[in-house]
Amino acid sequence: MKGPFFSIVVAALLAAGPSPTRAAQAPAPTVRPSAAALLSAAEAQAGREHKNVFLIFHASWCPWCHRLDALLSAPTLKPFFDKNYVIIRIDGLEAPAQLGLENAGWKDMMATYGATGQGIPYWLFLGPKGNILASCRSPFDLDSKGVPGCMGFPDKGQPKDLAFFVEDIQESAPHYEAAFDTNLRAYLKSLTY
């Protein structure tokens, strides 16, 4: 039987707030590293390991970004990328419900590298000191003003873009291996989308 005593007990418990035990168990919000911190750490690691940086502007909703992620982790390609690059993804352009995935400073970094207004994934190969070695700006993807745009993913249906991607890899990989081209083409040929 619920009487006035029960109501008083419930009111007292509610006024007391959450128990310290429950408050301690609540997960802390994830703090994502800033874009600048990620790049700085990647450049330092690349310098120590005699590699270059593969910087990718990325978003959780972007299917081409996920295809690039899959390419980088494909069993026949991952060893090559791991040997040659420190790969970092800078997340931005997220939907309002996913803003917590963004890295602070992504807009400024995109502007620094001329990626503002371009499609994603927008990628660059950088030396350990931040110098641009190559980027996704393809002479085969010109906008209405004749300015090269970002090719994004090396789509098997775009042979010129694929050749451009391989050329960028050749220019930026400290330990380039000819088998990479064969493995990349075989991987892309296997894709269905």
Residue 126, strand partner residues = 53, 132
What structural domains does the chain harbor? 29-190 (3.40.30.10)
* Residue of 135 and 20 predicted with greater confidence: 135
pLDDT, tens digit, 9 for 90 and up, residues 87-126: 999 999 999 999 999 999 999 999 999 998 888 999 999 9
Residue ranges of alpha helices (H) inside 17-158 are: 20-25, 35-49, 63-73, 78-84, 106-112
CA 102 to chain centroid, in Å, comes to 10
pLDDT at 13: 45
Given pLDDT bands bounded at 50, 70 and 90, which one contains residue 161? Answer: confident
Please give the Cα distance from 144 to 122 (Å, whole number): 19
Residue 46, strand partner residues = none
Give me 64's structure tokens: 């081409």
pLDDT, tens digit, 9 for 90 and up, residues 44-102: 999 999 999 999 999 999 999 999 999 999 999 999 999 999 999 999 999 999 999 99
Threshold 0.85, pTM exceeds:
no
Query: Do the beta carbons of residue 57 and residue 120 sit within 8 Å?
Result: yes
